Structure 1
């Protein structure tokens, strides 16, 4: 798979997870924010597609240390997302998948 295709897939997954729909008064909400409403399990279901973004970064040559940091943020978001109410607000506001794609984009553009 080519570099632009990998980056495009990572972007698509991040947009679905973090900003699939726009709600009045709330703003962009993705699958992460919706599935995260399921107590505990919802947040952990999102770990797999979020990890796919990290994997694409790894395949694009991101340093291992940065990939580990991105993975740590995915796991931290899942753990904190499991906290009632606070976790739901975090899922809507944090947009961690978009942040990870931005890291990948910075790495790719620096090459």
Structure 2
């Protein structure tokens, strides 16, 4: 089915707007980080873990998926105008997580303890707090 330019414009206007402002980006990144790193709690030891540890159990494909999700966080940070040094540090965090995640069993345990997305979120928050102070959220 072919969509005319008028139909396309009508569909595009009906979709919700994805904010490109720093506050919207911060909210999206915080949500993704929470989903990847803190979505669930292990009973008995009260240790939080997320989809990064669960999806990483799938050999190779799981690591590709979690790497893509971590890379998305780095891409969003790049769109915030963060420095090349910060982006490189964040990419290195994702890279280390990805490479060690490929090692069977060791990588799965590593995903449980090394939280690359949380480390990257801290880098992004420091940048946003300094350069976009209006995005600061007080946790209560």
Superposed displacement of residue 40, structure 1: 2.3
- 1:18 is matched with which residue? 37
**Unaligned stretches of 5+ in structure 1?**
none
Name the structure 1 match of 2:96: 76
Aligned to 2:27: 8
Higher share in helix = 1
Task: Name the CA shift for 1:36/1:10 in 2 (closer, same or farther; >3 Å).
Answer: same
Distance 1:16 1:5 in 2: 17
TM-score by length of 2: 0.75
User: Does the 8 Å CA contact 1:11/1:98 hold for their aligned counterparts?
Assistant: no
* Divergent runs of 4+, >2 A: none
Structure 2 gap segments, 5+ residues each:
1-19, 132-140
Q: Is 1:87–2:107 an aligned residue pair?
A: yes
TM-score (norm 1): 0.93
Which residue is equivalent to 2:61? 41
Compare CA radii of gyration and give the structure with the larger one.
Answer: 2
Q: Which has the higher contact order (CA 8 A, sep 6+)?
A: 1
